[in-house]
Amino acid sequence: MDILKSLGHPEEILNLFKFKMGGCSAVMPKLDYESMSESLRTCYLYLNQTSRSFAAVIQALDGELRHAVCIFYLVLRALDTVEDDMTIPLDKKVPMLNDFHTYLYQDEWCFTESQEKDRQVLEDFPTISLEFRNLAQEYRDVISDICHRMGAGMAEFLEKKVGSMKEWDLYCHYVAGLVGVGLSQLFSASKLEDPEVGRDTELANSMGLFLQKTNIIRDYLEDTQQGRAFWPQEAWSQFAGRLEDLAHPEKLESALSCLNLLVTDALRHVPDVIAYLSRLHNQSVFNFCAIPQVMAIATLSSCYNNPMVFQGVVKIRKGQAVTLMMEATNMGAVQTIIAQYSQEIVQKVSLTDPSRDKTLHILAVIRDKSALSQSSLPTRTHHLSPMYLSAAMLLAALSWQYLSTTAAQAIGVNR
């Protein structure tokens, strides 16, 4: 049972229990589905079915921004489903990706031939496109533009692999950086955030790149087993003849060197993440943006120098995820979390790792950017009496089956 992994972290056990008892209502409020149209209710159903990470924080956004981001997510989920479906021949897939933004204004367009698990967003695309057309014009313009640019970028990379580190940045820009740009423009269009948030595309791009690179690093084994290659050749070719060779036990030292190189590259986006988050004013927007970012740096800390990346799935603990979700609600807390996980990585850096100097340098930049010195890092450990801790553990264990179903929508970093 996953709760056993949190036994050394009593605050996580308590937060799991608080989560079950509704302690995250500020982050995950209940929506008034009765006031929605049937098509909009269906869209939120698809959101909860297809998102492992963002469903909760999307539904916590304020006002009309909530619906705009929900539809934005579903449109891009449908586009991504086309890209991921290996059963669609390239001569059909490439035009679909390039033209996908035009389907938003075609009442009847749908695609019923997908074999992907999220195919319902393609099969019932008319419901999603209907709600897209019900959005205000400023939201429609952003969503259509990002969909167009993303589809073209996906089509570009269908027939070529990610080669150089610059191409890795470009691929991640197409599939995630543009999401950050689009979301930022939606935040500004809603008037919940200043126009500057939507205009600064460099910081917004970094928000997406940090999440996407974390996902790519974590998902090495799953992707290679399914015939997908997202680690850049410029990186892995320094350590192996083929990308999948990194999973061979005799290649472990080289595999870890490659892994640490890519984690270091992902970490260089963290200063921009801190700068971006520091500009946000609306609480719901801040939660929406901050929670995935702290999940990502926690995931990178777990992945760094970890052989399990090449042997299975590296995940942060459910209690850890819920704790991060409950804590990452203000800039000071986010800076503390980022600094603490950065320090965790510092402690794992090997004297012989080829990327050691670069890793330590970017971690020092992150520490300075977060304005927290190692000596001033506050502890988040709660000192509890044995009786209270035992009771909390028992309550958390008894409620776990219910909790695990609910928490699944609020944890993890989704791609």
Q: Which residues are catalytic?
A: 171, 218, 228, 288
Contact of 144 with 101, CB cutoff 8 Å:
yes
Contact of 179 with 146, CB cutoff 8 Å:
yes
**Among candidates 324, 334, 401, which has minimal Cα distance to 57?**
324
Give the dihedral sign, CA 63/64/69/71. Answer: positive
Give the H or E element holding residue 32. Answer: none
Task: Report residue 297 as tokens.
Answer: 């740096």
Contact of 69 with 61, CB cutoff 8 Å:
yes
CA 345 vs CA 215, 219, 266, 340, 409: distances in Å: 17, 19, 13, 9, 27
Burial environment of residue 379 by CB neighbours within 10 A (0 to 12, 13 to 18, 19 or more): exposed
Contact of 266 with 384, CB cutoff 8 Å:
no
**Region for residue 414 given its phi and psi (left: phi exceeds 0; alpha: psi -120 to 50; beta: otherwise):** beta
Q: Which residue has the tokens 């993890």?
A: 412
How big is the chain, counted in residues? 415
Q: At 194, is the secondary structure helix, strand, or coil?
A: coil
In degrees, to the nearest 5, what angle opens at C-alpha 220 toward C-alphas 219 and 221? 95
The one-letter amino acid at 126: P
* Angle, helix 356-369 to helix 270-278, in steps of 10 degrees: 10
Contact of 181 with 205, CB cutoff 8 Å:
yes
Cα first-last separation, the chain: 25
